[in-house]
Structure 1
Amino acid sequence: MDNSILFNCCTDHAAPDWSQYDALELGGCIEAKCTVTSDTWTEGGYHRSDAEFFTVYGHLKEGGCEAITDWHGSFDEAVCTAEELARLSGLPLEVRC
């Protein structure tokens, strides 16, 4: 897989420093939009049947998480992408959607 697919939320589509994470997570997301200002943002925590796209997050050892890549295809394709990132990073993967 191409880096622009695997790391599309990372600076310069480059792999992050995997040592700062203790796990990866695949989550379902939607793009929310404010009806007044038209501002948009990503909301996570959606079940795969309700998700508009999927995000692979790295769980930071210090707390919190960072998005590594967004996948706008099917759930099964998102799982394959997340599994490839788990293989590359050596980190465990949890599917949360």
Structure 2
Amino acid sequence: MLILTCPYCGVAADETELHPGGEAHLTREGPESGEEAFHDYLFLRQNPKGVHFERWRHSHGCGKWFHAARCTVSLEVFGTYPAQVSEPPEDILSTIDARRPGWRDTA
């Protein structure tokens, strides 16, 4: 079972208390973008085997959105962090580098 710690309220919640929101750190396309860019934003997602950054909502808790870094193969969680950032924090990236050397080469 997947257990993630909410970075806002500190509760370690299992996946039944959370709601997945898909890939994290997407560039939102606005009305001025072309059809192709908007199509890509809506439908094209990474689906890696390995390290992945995702959005989650603590739906049965504080209700806030946050990001999680985890391995899609082993369900190992590298860390969680607030959703108001545009890229993963350095401490999360360092943790992944230590546990999965070379992971950036396959991303």
Which band: TM-score by shorter chain?
Answer: 0.3 to 0.5
The normalised TM-score by structure 2 is: 0.37
Q: Which has the larger radius of gyration?
A: 2
The normalised TM-score by structure 1 is: 0.39
Bigger RCO (CA 8 Å, 6+ sep): 1
